[in-house]
Chain A
């Protein structure tokens, strides 16, 4: 039987469309939250208004007409004012778009308004997705696609119904100003729970399956498009350069005042994610150098002008790769893929020397070879990915140029020079004496003793404050027993080393990281921000010194046992947050970093799999033929004949039993839905035609030819099969009659 399912009324469809349309307004507002654009006012307004208009769809009718009448001039004025005030085209556009979305949210939408809402929303969602680079984009765009498809489908259904045409004249066909004058019927009495129940009743597995298939098709097509479309770069667009996604609390810059690093540590968000092709290359506690600071003032540390000049001298403009300090590397030396979050710093984290660095897109950067620093021209506005080949994470950084300069007795940038007054110098020298006992020590030994001395006098605390008083703040801290954090320890060590005549510099960056068990990658958060020192060993290299208490190997490389202990003690994040981080890494690896090379890899992999599949099928077919041949060629003994004969009889019997069961009452009861839905194709087709005639307008339905055709169709649909008329003739007749009736109705 062809059942007629219960259907939702036009008003109910309108309500669902209203709900989906309101959600269409909310999703773009949600996506804008990820951008660092001052649009909180409109986002909050949309967030607050959407639930209200969903619960009470009569609200738009209560808005005074004057609001709609002056909409266009108001929006235009707002745009001009906003642009004049901020002078930023993109944020202004975003805000105006949000305003337009809001205006559509609070008005009864015609089909045209629905289209506009979809286009406006889509623009915002995509722009936010591209710029934030967040995996949330997937959720947002999928939700948006579902809602948009729903709105378009419902809009089409509603418009195509007769009832809709009647209602249109009441509330929707007119202009928005007129449309909001009175509450339309569908919005006057809303009962969402009842509508939900009704929708559940109407939905059956066929509709659900169709919806899933449509959605799956959309998803599949999107994935194929994503895999196949050529890669292009939009990051250099001048309009969008000034937009960046959510900033961290602070960023690593050329100047670090006391407290900056601890400020960064308060931010728990991810700063970078590191994929290592061979995880054994990762040390127990990796140090990621970002900024070298070689000048000290009472407020903190900074990179000297000379150092900055060096950086600007070695600038590369829109280059995708650069050679490092080591030999040109291959993948056998390990590949480190770093996904560096936007808003952290323009200085890229590096573990030490490397062979080659390859960016995911052309970037403008400076390479300071003596300082082992890479700095982008400006702070990246979007996530930046780079691969480092032959990356040597080391505590010892060779610097032949500095060694040569030292030999010549010259002075250059790259180590700290403190211009302290005499009193301060005296105090510092006294402290050095206390720490080292006036012995002539190597730089490494000096560092160890000073670290021990510092740890004996001060403990570690993030909530530490400098002791009050006058004079150099770090000397005041050294003279006290106040706990300190990494900046105080590193700064104090640098002052002491400087007083003792050892070239020293301060490094800021990240130390350590959490191992994500789901993505097998190192997640470095802002909480891992750290400051440490590098001291010149007097010969050829800078040695890392981490004077902050709690460091297993304060000076130089840790020994193997310490490293193994650090690896064993590394935090493995298998929490829910870790799962989400894993998803994020997947997003970076497979989507954000999906470049032409990845396209090639996917294509090659697919071809390889197809090739393997074809080969496997061919082999299986040949094996099958061989088996059948072997089975046939085996000697047919009496016993074998009897066994196979019995099997044949059993199979025949089973088939017969199934056939008999199909005719039984139990079978029909169990599988009645199949007989109903499969049914007689002539009856089904006749039913469809009858349905078309019934849903036709009265002028068509009551046409004499249509009535005659209807009688024939009724006979086909409900009459005895044995007295059936020519079915195809009846259907042709129905088609002709309908066409004739429609023509007559138009006349």
Chain B
């Protein structure tokens, strides 16, 4: 394999991703940046945490992506009584074969929507996170691979924290990015209102790429070139979070790798075979924001997120961008 991507491969990748983007725009109105992040996460092979209020189109987003790449979609509503087996699947006794047969859970899909993940107990959350990390499920000593490509959309309500089990930092680290949907613009919302549509099951979207193509895109993204100075810049950002006294702990190595992968992915989406410092800057908040917590006690989660964002912006402003 050559050390750089051929222009044709990059061009094809861009076209494919553009197709997905266009397809998703049919259902997700006025949220190009969100779609961009979703594609970034997908191509980087990561999982996405969406923190926002209910009813803003999170499920539609995940569903649209699944449909665009002809992937299986499943949705799990996390509740406090949800068991790990309910997510991963269980082995049940099948009389016909006189043995235990594995009954796959909802994670056996290409796109899994873990709705309100923080409502489940830590045990159930851990079960999902293990799948996210390894893309496989082990039940009764038997390992079962989940869908490929595999991407989890987990959602959290940032306001209603009553009766929840907040994800610890170590588990937040498994998500490549955290994004916010936000309310649509009035014009976009009007368009949404005009469209006669019921639930997400009613969404009819054509497949625009195959799952194999997505896997190829993921392979290509890993080959996107990152120049030394950009790597150094990325490293300095990570190092700065570790020396920042306001944070409880700095960014992990996984976080740094995630930022690099996301930047590569973004570069590919934008039709480049190399990463620009701008790619890194654009992804610092979504990739690193959820991995950091303040050392001091803050009044609520929203306040903490705002403070973390402000500190990250300050770090970015302080560090010189490679020119």
Contacts and interface: CB of A to CB of B under 8 A. Distances in A.
A687 B321 CA distance: 11
A598 B236 CA distance: 60
A685 to B, nearest CB: 11
What DSSP secondary structure best describes chain A's contact surface? helix
Contacts of B323: 2-4, 687-688, 690-691, 694, 717
Contacts of B320: 3-6
B228 A720 contact: no
Nearest to A715: B274
Interface string A684-706: 00011011001000000000000
Interface centre among A683, A715, A718, A719 (most CB of B within 10 A): A718
A691 B277 CA distance: 13
Nearest to A4: B320
Interface in A664-683: 676, 683
Given A1-B229, A1-B232, A5-B320, A718 B276 contact: yes
A659 interface: no
Interface in A1-31: 1-6
A688 B323 CA distance: 7
Interface string A366-407: 000000000000000000000000000000000000000000
Nearest to B279: A718
A568 interface: no
Nearest to A691: B323
B289 to A, nearest CB: 24
A717 B227 CA distance: 8
A154 B106 CA distance: 66
Interface in B207-235: 225, 227-230, 232
Interface in B146-167: none
A672 to B, nearest CB: 9
Contacts of A676: 229, 232
A7 to B, nearest CB: 9
B303 to A, nearest CB: 27
B318 interface: yes
A463 interface: no
Contacts of A719: 4, 225, 227, 272-274
B33 interface: no
Contacts of A717: 227, 323
B230 to A, nearest CB: 6
Given A719-B227, A720-B225, A723-B273, A1 B322 contact: yes
A1 B236 CA distance: 13
Nearest to A7: B320
A4 B4 contact: no
Interface residues of B, number: 20
A4 B277 CA distance: 12
Nearest to A723: B4
A718 B227 contact: yes
Interface in A703-735: 714-715, 717-720, 722-723
A4 B322 contact: yes
B3 A720 contact: yes
B275 interface: yes
Interface in B94-152: none
Contacts of B227: 683, 717-719
Given A1-B228, A2-B229, A715-B274, A720 B4 contact: yes
A718 B275 contact: yes
Interface centre among A4, A688, A694 (most CB of B within 10 A): A4
Nearest to B224: A720
Contact of A720 (B229, B274, B321, B322): B274
Contacts of A723: 4, 225, 273
A683 B4 CA distance: 17
A718 B230 contact: yes
A712 to B, nearest CB: 12
Nearest to B233: A1
A719 B229 CA distance: 11
B322 A687 contact: yes
Interface centre among B3, B229, B232, B321 (most CB of A within 10 A): B229
A212 to B, nearest CB: 23
Interface in B264-323: 272-277, 318, 320-323
B85 to A, nearest CB: 48
Given A718-B227, A718-B230, A719-B225, A2 B274 contact: no
Nearest to B230: A718
B230 A720 contact: no
5 contacts: A2-B323, A676-B232, A715-B274, A718-B230, A718-B276
| For the complex of A and B, 6 pairs with smallest distance between CB atoms | A1-B229, A4-B320, A719-B274, A720-B225, A720-B4, A723-B4
Given A5-B320, A715-B274, 4 more contacts: A3-B320, A6-B320, A714-B274, A718-B277
